[in-house]
């Protein structure tokens, strides 16, 4: 059976049509003729599909559209940019239309082995959102991400996993250099997010009062020096975090006297490139966790350990929420089950 404009390349049906006066050929991504006819009909009704683009080029348009619509905040936009860069780097040379469902499944499996499964799933959600937008705006005929199912992580979620105090201390003590030890203290003893750790400046740290202040830097901030990028904090919450005694003692020897208040104590000479982070902690972090026999521990696990151990020891959810920079409602949702119950009153007798 022949249908005008539809033909085969191998086993796959394609459609031939005019786009802006140019003869254009597009894959219908199916081996079934009836389905190909339906897709071709829907394609003609939806108007012209734009020309093929690189993942990063179209991704930039998607991000701009989301920011204009108020659907992406600065932090979520930075996250989306990082996911798109990761995705594009995994498929060098491939364009948006050349990506298949199998490609996305292969990429997601790779990420789930490289990083925490919960993080890999958020990456997948980002790519699914990107391709859903691309299809809606006629950049692709079919959405290759739509058939990819989100995994059921069950209890694998990093929000439910945290280290014991014994494992936490073992991991810190096992660090073979002070930069790594600083990273671990920031996560385990202050609950900093991965992106916050590399943005700590000397003026965040007040050793006299034993406080670490998480501060944002905005576009026209006087604290922002030439070549530096603004640092928006998630939820825009600047916050003071009391320094634990071990962390404060470590900082006394770690902070360099030759650096100014706006300098970064962690790899101060690292500049900002095209990546998401000024300095990405993930490689030395993962290598250390492998060495310590704790590959399940992620940067976010440190943050959950900080909050979980505090709640377990009776610190109020209100205080923990203030220290980790989340709302009390979100903090209660994830950590309230760890709080001592009423029977703990017996610890007073």
The predicted-structure confidence for 268-298, as pLDDT tens digits, reads as follows 988 876 667 888 898 899 889 888 888 788 8
Comma-separated ranges of CATH 1.10.150.130 domains in the chain: 55-154
- Give me the mean pLDDT over the 145-170 stretch: 77
Q: Would you give the end-to-end CA distance of the chain in angstroms? A: 87
Comma-separated ranges of CATH 1.10.443.10 domains in the chain: 159-338
- Give the distance from CA 260 to its chain's centroid: 30
Q: d(Cα 192, Cα 184) in Å, to the nearest integer?
A: 10
Which pLDDT belongs to residue 227? 80
Which CATH architecture group holds 159-338? Orthogonal Bundle (1.10)
What are the φ and ψ backbone dihedral angles of 32, each rounded to 5 degrees?
Answer: -100, 125
Q: Is 144 helix (H, G, I), strand (E, B) or coil?
A: coil
Kindly list the distances between the CA atom of residue 265 and the CA atoms of 123, 173, 233, in Å, as whole numbers in the listed order: 30, 20, 19
What Rg, from alpha-carbon coordinates, does the chain have?
Answer: 25
Higher per-residue confidence, 157 vs 178: 178
Residue bearing tokens 């009391």: 242
Higher per-residue confidence, 345 vs 81: 81
Beta carbons of 276 and 244 less than 8 angstroms apart: no
Task: Decide yes or no: CATH 2.30.40.10 for domain 55-154.
Answer: no
Beta carbons of 228 and 265 less than 8 angstroms apart: no
Query: What's the pLDDT tens digit per position in 76-116?
Result: 788 888 899 999 999 988 889 889 999 999 999 999 888 87
CB atoms within 10 A of CB 348: 5
Concatenating the DSSP letter of every residue in 286-325 gives HHHHHHTT-TT--HHHHHHHHHHHHHHTT--HHHHHHHHT
Which pLDDT belongs to residue 19? 56
- DSSP 8-class letter at 69: T
Q: d(Cα 74, Cα 80) in Å, to the nearest integer?
A: 10
Beta carbons of 16 and 7 less than 8 angstroms apart: yes
Residue bearing tokens 């390349």: 9
Q: d(Cα 127, Cα 85) in Å, to the nearest integer?
A: 11
Q: d(Cα 275, Cα 269) in Å, to the nearest integer?
A: 16
The stretches of the chain forming alpha helices (DSSP H) are 33-46, 55-68, 74-90, 101-114, 117-136, 165-173, 178-190, 194-197, 245-254, 282-291, 299-312, 317-324, 328-335
Query: What's the pLDDT tens digit per position in 308-342?
Result: 999 999 999 999 999 999 888 988 988 888 887 66
Kindly list the distances between the CA atom of residue 53 and the CA atoms of 112, 125, 132, 134, 217, in Å, as whole numbers in the listed order: 27, 21, 16, 11, 34
Most confident of 130-134, 224-228, 275-279: 130-134
Concatenating the DSSP letter of every residue in 323-342 gives HHT--HHHHHHHHGGGS--G
């Amino acid at each position: 059976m022949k249908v005008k404009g539809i033909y085969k390349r191998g086993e796959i049906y394609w459609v031939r049509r005019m786009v802006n006066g140019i003869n254009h050929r597009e894959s219908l991504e199916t081996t079934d003729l009836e389905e190909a006819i339906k897709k071709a009909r829907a394609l003609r009704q939806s108007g012209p599909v734009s020309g093929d683009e690189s993942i990063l080029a179209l991704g930039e348009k998607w991000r701009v559209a989301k920011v204009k619509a108020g659907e992406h905040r600065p932090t979520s936009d930075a996250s989306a940019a990082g996911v798109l860069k990761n995705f594009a780097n995994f498929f060098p040379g491939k364009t948006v239309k050349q990506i298949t469902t199998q490609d996305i499944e292969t990429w997601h499996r790779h990420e789930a082995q490289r990083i925490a499964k919960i993080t890999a799933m958020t990456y997948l959600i980002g790519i699914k959102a990107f391709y859903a937008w691309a299809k809606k705006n006629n950049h692709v005929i079919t959405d290759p991400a739509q058939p990819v199912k989100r995994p059921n992580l069950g209890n694998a979620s990093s929000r439910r996993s945290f280290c014991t105090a014994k494992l936490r201390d073992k991991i810190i003590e096992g660090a073979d250099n002070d930069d790594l030890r600083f990273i671990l203290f920031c996560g385990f003893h202050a609950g900093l997010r991965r992106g916050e750790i590399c943005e700590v400046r000397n003026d965040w740290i007040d050793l006299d009062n034993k406080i670490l202040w998480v501060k944002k830097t905005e576009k026209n901030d006087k604290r922002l020096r030439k070549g530096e990028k603004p640092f928006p904090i998630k939820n825009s919450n600047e916050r003071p975090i009391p320094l634990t005694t071990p962390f404060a003692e470590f900082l006394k020897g770690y902070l360099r006297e030759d650096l100014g208040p706006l300098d970064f104590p962690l790899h101060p000479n690292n500049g900002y490139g095209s990546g998401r982070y000024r300095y990405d902690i993930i490689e030395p972090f993962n290598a250390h966790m492998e060495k310590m026999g704790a590959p399940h521990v992620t940067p976010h696990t440190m943050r959950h350990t900080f909050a979980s151990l505090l709640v377990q020891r009776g610190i109020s959810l209100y205080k923990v929420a203030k220290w980790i920079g989340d709302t009390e409602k979100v903090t209660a949702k994830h950590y309230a089950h760890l709080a001592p119950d009423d029977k703990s009153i017996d610890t007073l007798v």
